[in-house]
Amino acid sequence: MYGFPENAVFMIEYVVPGNMDDRVAARTARLLEAGGVAALPTDTSWSLVCSSKVREGIRRLRALSFERDERHFTLLCSDISQFSEWCSVDNTRFRLIKRLSPGPYVFILGTLAGTEKALGLRRGEAGIRIPDHPVPLRIIASLGVPLYSITAKRSMTGASDGKTPPGDDRFTPIPEEDLFEGGWELEDINGVDTILDGGDEQNRIFSTILDLSGDEIRLLRRGAGPWPV
């Protein structure tokens, strides 16, 4: 349905996070609709994102990340209502997610019929969260659908050389030195089409992962979000 435009030009867009230019938001949304990949600041660290509805963007995001295991990817939503199209959320889970969102928490939830096919998943679960940062929330609003995302890491640089760096375990804390601070540093990741840079150094922290897919809540990774609360 969408094809990435051959004449697309890489760019850094300098933005005011709490007052983003409408034209920048619209331009980024169009790029993602065309299968592009963007780098965005979040309330944890930098993320690489594509549209959750565009297969070419999902393919490109996975290719430049080196990851084949979909557990390394997270759906970024603007509110809990967006969860319902993708995952199963009962009242108990809803209350917990509402209590901890927006914030640095990824919730592993059982997926609904159609989610696995849409995202190319091999298991009936997905990570999902609401970031507490105005930039991804604004892009989600402009795009109209959640973003599919992965944490940007220095081990991704030089992605087009065909070499695969050592894999990591999603549920192991990411070393601080593997995360980025300044937006300009992400220029070294081949396959990123635009960077939305607020000008400030980004936190080098990672999210807390809670598995809500079973009967009991399981802490899979302790990160910026405290648990238990």
Q: What is the CATH number of the domain that holds 200?
A: 3.90.870.10
Residues 6+ apart with CB under 8 A from 158: 188, 190
Is residue 227 in a domain?
no
Coil, strand or helix at 74: strand
Q: What is the pTM of this model?
A: 0.89
pLDDT tens per residue, range 64-114: 887 666 767 999 999 999 998 899 999 999 999 999 999 999 999 999 888
Provide the residue range defining the domain that includes 35: 11-221
The average pLDDT across 124-152 equals: 96
Q: What is the DSSP string of 26-38?
A: HHHHHHHHTT--E
Of the ranges 63-72, 151-160, 219-228, which is most confident?
219-228
Predicted confidence (pLDDT) per residue in 2-37, tens digit: 344 454 556 899 999 999 999 999 999 999 999 999
Whether omega for the bond prior to residue 17 falls within 30 degrees of 0, making it cis, is no
- The pLDDT assigned to 170 comes to 55
Residue 162 pLDDT level (bands cut at 50, 70, 90): very low
* Residue 5 domain-assigned (yes or no): no
User: In the chain, how many domains are there?
Assistant: 1
| Residue 101 in domain | yes
pLDDT at 3: 42
pLDDT of 163 > 70? The answer is no
